[in-house]
């Protein structure tokens, strides 16, 4: 070896580079989904006793697989003013594969919502992660 000092520095720098690379890799993998990469549709909203049930479907428009998809539903009045919102993990959405469509159900106690006179709902994906 021509320069043993350089080799020693490289050996000591390697763990730092590996740790930094791992952190960057995990941030890229754990970055939340872009809502524009999904199509969320609300099919039915029902009040059952003291619970609001929201049924719909979510379509993954990309080739990326996502886990634990979070869905947010917003409620608006007839003039387009925001009233309230709810969100949660859609049941049966543990994994949403690329280009796949899955049904979901959200439930929220009515005591936490004020949506008596809503006219419009908007839904989007607000969370999830990839392996």
Judge whether residue 1 has pLDDT over 60. Answer: no
The reported pLDDT for the residue numbered 31 is: 64
21, HSE (Cβ side, Cα atoms, 13 Å)? 6
Of 9-18, 19-28, 29-38, 81-90, the poorest mean pLDDT is in 19-28
Judge whether residue 107 has pLDDT over 80. Answer: yes
The reported pLDDT for the residue numbered 39 is: 97
CA 122/CA 40 separation, integer angstroms: 9
Which tens digit of pLDDT belongs to each residue from 20-48?
A: 766 666 655 556 788 899 999 999 999 99
The reported pLDDT for the residue numbered 93 is: 74
121, HSE (Cβ side, Cα atoms, 13 Å)? 19
Closest CA to 131 of 60, 38, 66, 61: 66
Which tens digit of pLDDT belongs to each residue from 67-79?
A: 888 999 999 999 9
Across the chain, what does the average pLDDT equal? Answer: 86
Which tens digit of pLDDT belongs to each residue from 50-62?
A: 999 999 999 999 9
The reported pLDDT for the residue numbered 14 is: 74
């Amino acid at each position: 070896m021509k320069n043993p000092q350089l080799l020693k520095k490289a050996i000591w720098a390697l763990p730092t580079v590996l740790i930094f690379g791992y952190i960057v890799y995990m941030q890229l993998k754990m970055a939340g989904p872009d809502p524009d990469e999904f199509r969320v549709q609300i099919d039915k909203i029902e009040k059952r006793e003291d619970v609001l049930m929201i049924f719909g479907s979510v379509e993954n428009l990309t080739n990326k697989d996502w886990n634990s998809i979070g869905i947010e539903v917003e409620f608006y009045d007839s003039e387009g003013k925001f009233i309230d919102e709810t969100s949660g993990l859609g049941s049966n959405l543990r994994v949403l594969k690329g280009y796949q469509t899955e049904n979901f159900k959200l439930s929220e106690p009515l005591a936490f919502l004020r949506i008596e006179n809503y006219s419009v709902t908007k839904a989007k994906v607000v969370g999830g992660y990839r392996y």
